[in-house]
């Protein structure tokens, strides 16, 4: 019988390699803070513009999540909406296939 799960295997290997790479870099790179690449980007913008970071204020007033916890809550909510959509549709397809 032909091996049916090549793609699954490659994906799992890639995810494990990715995680391994992360463990390696996070243990060897002393300065790595794993902040968003946005932050590194903003620092470069400030440098190029020759203005301190604090001078960049939102053009349109913006609500900011008061803490990291609340921010991660809202991100989780976004992922949950996506998860419900994906799971719901796959379930629907499996169900309608069984019926037919």
Query: Residue 79 corresponds to which tokens in the numbers above?
Result: 């992922």
Give, in order, the Cα–Cα distances in Å from 79 to each of 12, 72, 84, 85, 86: 21, 10, 9, 10, 10
Name the 3-class secondary structure at 46.
helix
35 binds another protein (CB under 8 A): yes
Among 27, 52, 68, 78, binds another protein (CB under 8 A): 78
- Kindly identify the residues of this chain, within the stretch 12-31, that bind another protein according to CB under 8 A: 14-15, 18, 21-22, 25-26, 29, 31
Dihedral angle of Cα 39, 44, 45, 49, to the nearest 10 degrees: 150
- Site of interaction with another protein (CB under 8 A): 2, 4, 6-8, 10-11, 14-15, 18, 21-22, 25-26, 29, 31-42, 44-45, 48-49, 56-60, 62-65, 71, 74-76, 78-79, 81-86, 88-90, 92-94, 97
């Amino acid at each position: 019988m032909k091996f049916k799960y090549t793609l699954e295997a490659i994906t799992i290997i890639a995810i494990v390699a990715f995680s391994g790479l992360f463990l390696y870099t996070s243990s060897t790179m002393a300065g790595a803070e794993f902040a968003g690449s946005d932050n590194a980007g903003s620092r470069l913008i400030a440098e190029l513009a020759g203005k301190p970071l604090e001078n960049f204020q939102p053009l349109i007033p913006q609500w900011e999540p008061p803490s990291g916890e609340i921010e991660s809550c809202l991100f989780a909510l976004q992922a949950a909406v996506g998860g419900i959509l994906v799971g719901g549709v796959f379930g629907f397809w499996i169900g309608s296939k069984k019926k037919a």
